[in-house]
């Protein structure tokens, strides 16, 4: 079956004062229809950049190479005007901070109406009706439809943003750190909403986050990014139970959870992407690195069915 | 040079206690509004909080946003003025001590903030930043330049900032997040305090380096008997690190006691909810969650009685039901089209209902009050049983249709199974 | 450039005028900065009644049309380079005060300032070592822009006859005013060149201000990241 989204050798370089910064390097990633794929990684790994590349919202003067195929078209080569009809309708995005998406001067009902009438030929009253349905399904009563974004709490704004994102029934929803600024209980509510959406609309969800807990809760497969590279990809069960790549191992070990007995961390800190390490980018911090790791860029190898890792010694961790 | 002898307290005992502490802020309203309305809304950030911290203890303040934990942390070090209650440092009251008198005592209590990128002065080098506290307290006057520098270098080594001679002359913008946080710790440490308030010290750091910073805090505690007030929303970290914790909700402590007791057997419904809500990084342990509804309400008008009651799944009729809760219930009904129509017809538009303390009322404009009262009693049967039981009367009073609740029971703090809880379930 | 009514060379007067204008501008703007910056810093940091009082005073002065106020002051204190400088100072103090105060208000809430307070730093130390640095970044741009404006104001004053004494050469404004009467006779150079100098200096300073702003802002951003 054809994947919904196919990224081939995607590389993204940002233009900075000090030169081109390679945020992503040669990413090969597929998204299967109806699945929830989590992209995890820490600061500077490039996960947000990937999401932005799919949506075509990278800053101008950014170099993008490779292909991202979605519904038969290459998103890397799609023009801005073409993107305008795709965004919102076929691919939707929700961010960490809903206020970047919501216009503080516009009532929330109007947000929906504007969004819908921009993409579909429906009357404002029909749009208002559908807006009402979407808002009610998010637990927002009619008496508050005419309120402004700032009159809602953080959690409610997030729900509104989700409701807006799905109102046009996109086939792909990208969520970039959707719960990072929310409280634990509100976060759990939002995750429930995302789960329901998956079931009800058979939506494909690309979840970008640094929070491994929510990945374990919600995702089917996980892609691990490090310093702009895809270092591991597999089912959520495989990744959590038997991580292959040493970075994934280190990352999982460093998560503090209710049953933690000791504190573990990874030595050093993420590399400067203007001058990344040679060979395997993780080698300076890897407890298992050998000479060959400095010299050779490890390819992504399928060590088990559906479980890929970019490590020259992956075999040993099976 | 042994740093222990520099300890300012001089004695072996150390204790900070907080009694019925209250911190309220006035809400900033535009000037015009102040002319037209009498009431001065106030944010009830911290309300009547009491606890004690002993030497070398790691005390956790756990809560979500709006819980007041950060405000409380700042109040302890007098960055924010308490509006009532007392703060005692080694038996001396410091609640409203003037700045000149407080200054020497500040050496004993320091604070580190959440955002490592914003807590260092961009104009000062690392060396200058860590030397500054020594300057402020006159310690540089009694020592030579070299002596001062070596003290600073030693503290830098202690917190894991190396190579310290190189980093000494660097600016914050040259450092990573983890390094900046270590500088903040060094700056707090150089005065040899007995207590450090750490406000979400690792929340903005990558997961893979959090452990190192937390380990540093633990090492400092063992080495110097340093006490910490560890403020966080992350229960897992609090469980690992803290000896005792206080769970805060909307300005009050709802449960407080030894960390082990609270985590193995949480008593307060909010504590239970928090523990349940935490996502576990193990896909095999996905469970269905029973979550309290709604979100943390605003601290300007906290709910009556127990502040958690509108969301509590174990709520009782005496927990603090009030007019607002009934109106929220009506609002919830309007989400269901079938109820919405009927309600709109008989109970009118929701905007006409208002909450006044224990009452929810609607001004009559010639409607058939009899039918309304019957309808109200009817829909109350569909509502949360506990809320219905809390209703005292549904009647007509002063040309309003009124739903009035009974007065809530007074909340007390009770010692239960080795910790203290503030909940009617245990009274 | 020809000669004027008294036979003096227009070119040398125009160039000499540059020096005079710059002197006036320097006195005016530097004193305004020296007064406005510290008061803005103090007002923003301390707050309370002092702040309210200072804001009231400054806003009142600011509300006056600049040239009019300068004219009144100049008329009262008399002519002379220094006096004109003082007249101009008064108009620009509120500008520096405001900009500094606004910056101070926002920097005051930053965690690193709170950290300084928790260490026990005295208000003076905090203002000088912590806040002033962040605030000073905004000043050079404002400086150039107000300097440009000051040149115009000084020229305006002279034009109105409130400027310098007759014997000080190269007062562009007064030259312009003197030259007006000759325009009808087709003598254009006595008014053109002084006018041109005013424009050149004003525009030049404005560009300098914009440039400084552009240069310093990314610096600010980089420091914070």
B115 neighbourhood in chain C, CB within 8 Å: 111
Asked if the C-beta of A97 comes within 8 angstroms of chain B's C-beta atoms, the answer is no
pLDDT digits (tens, 9 = 90+) for B357-416: 999 999 888 778 888 889 999 899 888 889 999 999 998 888 889 999 999 999 999 999
pLDDT classification of B242: cutoffs 50, 70, 90: very high
CB pairs under 8 A between B and C: 67
β-pair type (B58-63, B244-249): parallel
Do residue C129 and residue B122 have CB atoms under 8 angstroms apart? no
List the 302-331 stretch of B: residues with Cβ below 8 A of C: none
Q: Residue C186 region, left (φ>0) first, then alpha (ψ -120 to 50), else beta?
A: left
Q: Hey, what are B136's tokens?
A: 């402020």
pLDDT digits (tens, 9 = 90+) for A51-84: 999 999 998 889 999 999 999 899 999 988 888 8
d(CA B177, CA B210): 11
Exposure string for A252-261, b = 16+ CB within 10 A, e = fewer: bbbbbbeebe
Per DSSP, helices labelled H in chain A are 47-55, 80-86, 108-119, 124-137, 154-166, 184-201, 212-218, 236-241, 246-254, 291-295
> Mean pLDDT over residues B206-223, rounded?
92
- Answer for the pair B320, A253: CB distance below 8 angstroms, yes or no: no
B262 neighbourhood in chain A, CB within 8 Å: none
Rounded to 5°, the CA angle A24-A27-A28 comes to 170
Subunits with 3+ Cβ pairs within 8 Å of B are: A, C
List the 37-66 stretch of A: residues with Cβ below 8 A of B: 42-43
Q: Is the dihedral of CA A266, A270, A275, A280 positive or negative?
A: positive
B351 neighbourhood in chain A, CB within 8 Å: 143
Do residue A258 and residue B275 have CB atoms under 8 angstroms apart? yes
B218 neighbourhood in chain A, CB within 8 Å: 263
What does pLDDT average to over chain B?
90
Closest Cα in chain B to C137? B123
pLDDT digits (tens, 9 = 90+) for A222-277: 999 999 999 999 999 999 999 999 999 999 999 998 888 888 889 888 888 888 99
> Mean pLDDT over residues C196-201, rounded?
80
The CATH topology of domain B4-263 is Rossmann fold (3.40.50)
pLDDT digits (tens, 9 = 90+) for A262-289: 888 898 888 888 889 999 999 999 999 9
d(CA A88, CA A107): 19
Q: Is the dihedral of CA B22, B25, B27, B32 positive or negative?
A: positive
ipTM of the complex, rounded to two decimals: 0.87
Say how many CA atoms lie within 13 Å of C55 toward its Cβ: 15
Interface of C with B (CB under 8 A): 110-112, 114-122, 125, 129-130, 133-134, 222-225
Do residue B122 and residue C223 have CB atoms under 8 angstroms apart? yes
Do residue A251 and residue B292 have CB atoms under 8 angstroms apart? no
Q: Is the pLDDT of residue C169 over 70?
A: no
Subunits with 3+ Cβ pairs within 8 Å of A are: B
Q: Is the pLDDT of residue B3 over 60?
A: no
pLDDT digits (tens, 9 = 90+) for A71-123: 989 999 998 888 888 888 899 989 888 887 788 899 999 988 888 888 888 88
Per DSSP, A102 falls in state S
Closest Cα in chain B to A259? B236
A213 neighbourhood in chain B, CB within 8 Å: 278-281
Asked if the C-beta of A213 comes within 8 angstroms of chain B's C-beta atoms, the answer is yes
d(CA A306, CA A69): 21
Q: For residue A138, what pLDDT is reported?
A: 83
Domain boundaries, chain C: 10-224
Q: For residue B10, what pLDDT is reported?
A: 47
pLDDT digits (tens, 9 = 90+) for A136-180: 888 888 888 888 988 888 888 888 988 888 888 889 999 999 988
- Determine the angle formed by the axes of helices A154-166 and A108-119, rounding to 10 degrees: 20
- Answer for the pair B73, B61: CB distance below 8 angstroms, yes or no: yes
B137 neighbourhood in chain C, CB within 8 Å: 120
Nearest by CB: B283 against A191, A216, A265: A216
How far apart are the CA of A289 and the nearest CA of chain B, in angstroms?
A: 18
H/E stretch holding C31: helix C10-46
Rounded to 5°, the CA angle B237-B243-B244 comes to 95
Domain boundaries, chain A: 1-79+220-318, 88-218
Nearest by CB: B280 against A155, A185, A216: A216
How far apart are the CA of A79 and the nearest CA of chain B, in angstroms?
A: 35
d(CA B237, CA A117): 47
How far apart are the CA of B258 and the nearest CA of chain A, in angstroms?
A: 15
Name the architecture of domain A1-79+220-318.
3-Layer(aba) Sandwich (3.40)
pLDDT digits (tens, 9 = 90+) for C113-144: 999 999 999 999 998 888 888 787 778 778 87
Q: For residue B18, what pLDDT is reported?
A: 96
Return the C-alpha torsion angle B412, B416, B418, B422, nearest 10: -30
Number of H helices, E strands in chain B: 15, 16
Q: Is the pLDDT of residue A204 over 90?
A: yes
Domain boundaries, chain B: 4-263, 323-405
Residues 6+ apart with CB under 8 A from B211: A254, A256, A263, A264, A265
Whole-number Cα distances in Å, A266 to A286, B180, B209, B213, C70: 8, 18, 7, 12, 66
Do residue B113 and residue C133 have CB atoms under 8 angstroms apart? no
Q: Is the pLDDT of residue B11 over 70?
A: no
Tell which CATH classification among 3.40.30.10, 1.10.3720.10, 1.10.490.10, 2.40.50.140 matches the domain C10-224. Answer: 1.10.3720.10
pLDDT digits (tens, 9 = 90+) for B45-87: 999 999 999 999 999 999 998 899 999 999 999 999 999 999 9
Tell which CATH classification among 3.40.50.300, 3.50.50.60, 3.40.1170.10, 1.10.357.10 matches the domain A88-218. Answer: 3.40.50.300
């Amino acid at each position: 079956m054809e994947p919904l989204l196919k990224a081939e050798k995607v590389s993204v370089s940002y233009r900075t004062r000090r030169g081109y910064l390679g945020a992503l390097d040669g990413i090969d990633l597929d998204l299967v229809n109806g699945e929830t794929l989590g992209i995890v990684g820490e600061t500077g790994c490039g996960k947000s950049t990937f999401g932005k590349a799919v949506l075509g919202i990278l800053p101008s003067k950014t170099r993008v190479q490779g292909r991202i195929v979605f519904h038969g078209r290459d998103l890397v080569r799609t023009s801005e005007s073409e993107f305008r009809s795709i965004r919102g309708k076929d691919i939707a995005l929700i961010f960490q901070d809903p206020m970047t998406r919501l216009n503080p001067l516009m009532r929330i009902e109007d947000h929906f109406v504007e969004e819908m009438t921009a993409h579909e030929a429906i009357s404002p009253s029909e749009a208002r009706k559908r807006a009402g349905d979407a808002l009610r399904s998010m637990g927002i009563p009619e008496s508050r439809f005419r309120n402004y974004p700032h009159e809602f709490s953080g959690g409610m704004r997030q729900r509104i943003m989700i409701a807006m994102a799905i109102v046009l029934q996109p086939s792909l929803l990208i969520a970039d750190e959707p719960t990072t600024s929310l409280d634990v209980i509100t976060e759990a509510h939002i995750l429930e909403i995302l789960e329901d959406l998956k079931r009800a609309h058979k939506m494909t969800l690309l979840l970008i986050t640094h929070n491994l807990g929510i990945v374990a809760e919600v995702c089917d497969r996980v892609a691990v990014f490090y310093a702009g590279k895809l270092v591991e990809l597999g089912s959520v069960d495989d990744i959590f139970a038997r991580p292959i790549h040493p970075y994934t191992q280190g990352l999982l070990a460093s998560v503090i959870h209710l049953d933690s007995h000791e504190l573990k961390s990874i030595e050093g800190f993420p590399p400067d992407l203007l001058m990344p390490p040679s060979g395997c980018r993780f080698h300076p911090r890897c407890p298992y690195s050998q000479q060959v790791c400095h010299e050779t860029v490890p390819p992504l190898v399928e060590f088990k069915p559906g479980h890929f890792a970019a490590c020259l010694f992956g075999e040993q961790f099976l | 040079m042994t740093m222990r002898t520099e300890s300012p307290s001089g004695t072996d005992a150390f204790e900070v206690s907080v009694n019925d502490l209250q911190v309220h802020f006035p809400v900033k309203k535009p000037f015009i509004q102040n002319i037209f309305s009498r009431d001065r809304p106030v944010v009830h950030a911290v309300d009547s909080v009491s606890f004690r911290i002993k030497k070398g203890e790691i005390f956790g303040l756990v809560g979500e946003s709006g819980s007041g934990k950060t405000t409380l942390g700042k109040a302890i070090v007098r960055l924010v003025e308490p509006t009532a209650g007392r703060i005692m440092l080694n038996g001396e009251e410091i609640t409203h001590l003037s700045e000149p008198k407080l200054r020497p005592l500040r050496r004993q209590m320091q604070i580190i903030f959440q955002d490592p990128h914003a807590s260092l002065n961009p104009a000062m080098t690392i060396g200058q930043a860590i030397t500054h506290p020594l300057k402020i307290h006159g310690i540089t006057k009694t020592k030579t330049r070299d002596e001062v520098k070596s003290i600073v270098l030693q503290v830098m080594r202690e917190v894991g900032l190396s190579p310290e001679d190189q980093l000494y002359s660097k600016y914050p913008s040259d450092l990573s997040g983890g390094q900046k946080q270590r500088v903040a710790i060094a700056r707090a440490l150089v005065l040899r305090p007995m207590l450090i308030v750490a406000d979400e010290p690792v929340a903005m750091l990558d997961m893979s380096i959090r452990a190192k910073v937390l380990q540093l805090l633990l090492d400092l505690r063992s080495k110097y008997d340093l006490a910490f007030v560890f403020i966080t929303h992350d229960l897992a970290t609090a469980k690992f690190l803290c000896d005792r914790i206080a769970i805060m909700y909307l300005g009050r402590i709802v449960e407080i006691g030894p960390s082990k007791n609270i985590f193995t057997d949480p008593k307060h419904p909010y504590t239970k909810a928090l523990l349940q809500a935490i996502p576990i990084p193990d896909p095999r342990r996905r469970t269905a969650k029973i979550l309290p509804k709604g979100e943390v309400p605003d601290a300007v008008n906290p709910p009556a009685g127990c502040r958690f009651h509108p969301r509590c799944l174990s709520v009782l009729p005496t927990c603090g039901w009030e007019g607002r809760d009934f109106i929220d219930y009506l609002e919830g009904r309007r989400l269901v089209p079938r109820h919405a129509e009927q309600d709109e017809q008989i109970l009118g538009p929701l905007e006409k209902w208002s909450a006044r303390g224990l009452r929810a009322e609607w001004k009559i404009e010639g409607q058939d009050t009899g039918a309304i009262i019957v309808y109200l009693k009817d829909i109350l049967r569909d509502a949360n049983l506990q809320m219905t039981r809390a209703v005292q009367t549904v009647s007509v009073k002063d040309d309003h249709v009124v739903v009035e609740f009974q007065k809530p029971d007074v909340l007390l703090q009770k010692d239960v199974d080795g910790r203290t809880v503030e909940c009617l379930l245990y009274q | 450039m020809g000669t004027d009514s008294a036979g003096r060379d227009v070119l040398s007067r125009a160039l000499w005028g540059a020096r005079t204008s710059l002197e006036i501008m320097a006195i005016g703007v530097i004193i305004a900065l020296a007064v406005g910056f510290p008061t803005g810093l103090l007002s923003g940091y301390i707050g309370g009644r002092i702040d309210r009082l200072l804001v009231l005073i400054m806003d009142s002065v600011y509300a006056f049309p600049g040239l009019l106020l300068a004219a009144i002051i100049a008329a009262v204190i008399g002519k002379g380079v220094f006096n004109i400088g003082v007249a101009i100072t008064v108009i620009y103090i509120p500008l520096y005060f405001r900009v500094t105060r606004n910056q101070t208000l926002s920097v005051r809430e930053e965690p690193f300032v709170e950290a300084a307070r928790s260490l026990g730093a005295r208000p003076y130390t905090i203002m000088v070592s912590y806040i002033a640095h962040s605030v000073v970044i905004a000043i050079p741009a404002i400086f150039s822009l107000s300097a440009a404006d000051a040149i115009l104001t000084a020229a305006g004053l002279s034009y109105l006859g409130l400027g310098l004494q007759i014997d000080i050469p190269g007062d562009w404004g007064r030259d312009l005013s003197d030259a007006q009467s000759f325009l009808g006779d087709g003598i254009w150079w006595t008014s053109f060149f002084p006018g041109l100098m005013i424009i050149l200096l004003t525009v030049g300073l404005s560009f300098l201000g914009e440039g400084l702003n552009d240069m310093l802002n990314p610096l600010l951003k980089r420091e914070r990241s």
